Amino acid sequence: MERKVFLNGNIHTLNESKPFAEALVISGNKIEFSGKNEEAKQFINTHADVIDLEGHWVLPGFIDSHAHIILGGFYLLSVDLSGANSKDEFISILKNYIYENKERWITGGNWNHQNWSERILPDKSWIDPFSKETPVFVMRMDYHMGLANSLALKLAGINKHTPDPPGGFIERDKQTGEPTGILKDKAIDLIQKVIPEPSESDYSKAIDAAMKEAVRFGVTSIHDITYENHFKALQKAEKENRLSSRVYTRLPIKYYESLIGSEIQYNFGSDKLKVGSLKAFADGALGSSTAYFFEPYADDNDNFGLPMDILKSGELEHQILLSDKNKLQLSIHAIGDRAVSEVIDIVEKVNSRNGNWDRRFRIEHAQHMSDKDFERMRNLGIIVSAQPYHLFEDGDWMESKIGAGRMRNAYPFKKFLKNNIKLCFGSDWPVVTINPLKGIYAAVTRHTRKIQNDEGLIPEEKLTVADTVKAYTVDAAYAAFQEEKLGSLTEGKFADFVVLSENIFDIPKEQIKNVNVIKTVIDGKIVYSV
């Protein structure tokens, strides 16, 4: 069996019984030994490869607990509006892209009007003059809002007489009633239905681009939000050995009956591709003013947010109860405090009716909390899957949306840990970068784009580097039922690890965002190196 010996490292194993090591010995795709250099050298023979780590800091491979892999791949291959800081820049980037790309549809986006000096929503009138013959639909960075041009609206049959779909909103001109091109949440589906389905080749290119991006940043395992047709494309990639990072899929909850009928249960599949978890939405997003709150938005006193129709109708509760009864894991998106609270209400019913089992129920995001819900969350064993870099992106304008009073329970990472709530971290890529080191930086400094000082935003919620790394490794593995195989550099586990340019535990915290991954190792193979 192939053996590799990595020597001369500063290895932070996250294995409590042996927290530090100098060397790792890899046999096949698993860790055979971790410990001192001299002991590791005993494993060296004519068949062993020896790699000198040159004193660099080594961590277990980062696990991204919430990403959209195929969406991210398509984002890398489409127009990128994330660099637009004004209306003029938004128009210029999109105009140049359309002129340079003769595509049938223009998609992509990642724009964020909240970071502009004038926080106005884009309008179809901005882009119609240069896109009369090209349908355009570009998403806001949270993927809960998008802008369509007039041609795209026409192809989708959206006009002034089109009603808002349940759980969605069509922005309209206050004088004419005509759609402005802005579609929110379930209204996005009206456009998605007419956008041509990507080809098999398109999916393959997106997955390959996503895998390349993941390993560049040391992400060795990904908890994917897996949309329609994505699992099929991921299966193909696995069969063709094109999945470098491991993928733990969460399928749309609408497929719950199919999974139950197929007798699939949680954590089923290979060591590269897993299935058995379901994802649903309880509300929208803060930047789109669709996150669901108990109190109205500070900048819109008539708006409490947009709960998903399945939450209001009771259908979400029905789907969760049946899925959980059949041993399927649930991951529910909830951002506003009321959305989080109502999901916890459902989990209480699930626990009462279905009994105790190791369900590892997850709430994705949980960005805003009510005081009363921390204890309930802990008692139910709910896992919080949060994305710390959202704080960096959203922090500067958050108070204008929710007011000062609710800020103290915004991104309450420290409160989660003080209440013994399991916390795992991810990116939500392509909403923000997939780079975990940017996430670690945000969690430990609480910096935002404009607040870059020692205090940070809501400084009492800062985490230590150790707590944050644990949320990206050990606890992220637990959230996917994979703690016996991943998350720490322990003998018998998979040889997934990263080599960093600097020791993030010792350098000034504000410098963590500049640290680079110089090697990514998955299954004992170096899949990225600089």
Residue 38's pLDDT is 96
Helices vs strands, H then E, count in the chain: 19, 25
| pLDDT band of 119, cuts 50, 70, 90 | confident
Residue 245's pLDDT is 98
Q: Is-contact 427 64, C-beta < 8 A?
A: yes
Q: 385-434, pLDDT tens digit by residue?
A: 999 999 999 999 999 999 999 999 999 999 999 999 999 999 999 999 99
Token digits of residue 482: 């994979």
* Mean of per-residue pLDDT scores for the chain: 96
Q: 47-79, pLDDT tens digit by residue?
A: 899 999 999 999 999 999 999 999 999 999 999
CB under 8 Å to 38, separation ≥6 — which residues? Answer: none
Residue 371's pLDDT is 97
Judge whether residue 182 has pLDDT over 90.
yes
In the three-class reduction of DSSP (H, G, I as helix; E, B as strand; rest coil), residue 331 is classed as: strand
Residue 115's pLDDT is 83
Q: 483-501, pLDDT tens digit by residue?
A: 999 999 999 999 999 999 9
Mean pLDDT across 88-100:
94
Measured CA to CA, the distance from residue 336 to residue 169 in angstroms comes to: 17
Q: Is-contact 487 14, C-beta < 8 A?
A: yes
CB under 8 Å to 429, separation ≥6 — which residues? Answer: 64, 67, 68, 72
Residue 54's pLDDT is 97
CB under 8 Å to 72, separation ≥6 — which residues? Answer: 206, 209, 210, 213, 429, 430, 434
Judge whether residue 102 has pLDDT over 80.
no
Number of residues that this document lists for the chain: 530
**Omega prior to 430 cis, within 30 of 0:** yes
Residue 263's pLDDT is 97
Q: In what order do the strands lie in the sheet with 30-35?
A: 30-35, 23-27, 3-7, 48-52
Judge whether residue 103 has pLDDT over 80.
no
Residue 498's pLDDT is 98
Judge whether residue 150 has pLDDT over 90.
yes
Q: 254-308, pLDDT tens digit by residue?
A: 999 999 999 999 999 999 999 999 999 999 999 989 999 999 999 999 999 999 9
Residue 45's pLDDT is 86
CATH architecture for the domain at 3-55: Roll (2.30)
Judge whether residue 438 has pLDDT over 90.
yes
Q: Is-contact 338 292, C-beta < 8 A?
A: yes
Read off the amino acid at residue 283: D
Q: For the chain, which residues make up each domain, given as ranges?
A: 3-55, 77-192
In the three-class reduction of DSSP (H, G, I as helix; E, B as strand; rest coil), residue 442 is classed as: helix
Judge whether residue 148 has pLDDT over 80.
yes
Tell me which residue of 447, 376, 389, 446 sits closest to 416, measured CA to CA: 376
Report how far apart, in Å, the C-alpha atoms of 91 and of each of 127, 238, 511 are.
Answer: 7, 39, 34
Task: Tell me yes or no: is domain 77-192 CATH 3.10.310.70.
Answer: yes
Token digits of residue 373: 């819900």
The whole model's pTM is what? 0.90
Judge whether residue 218 has pLDDT over 80.
yes
Judge whether residue 1 has pLDDT over 80.
no
| pLDDT band of 378, cuts 50, 70, 90 | very high
Q: Phi/psi of residue 352, each to 5°?
A: -70, -45
Measured CA to CA, the distance from residue 435 to residue 444 in angstroms comes to: 15
Measured CA to CA, the distance from residue 468 to residue 444 in angstroms comes to: 8
Q: Is-contact 453 416, C-beta < 8 A?
A: no
Measured CA to CA, the distance from residue 5 to residue 49 in angstroms comes to: 6
Residue 42's pLDDT is 94
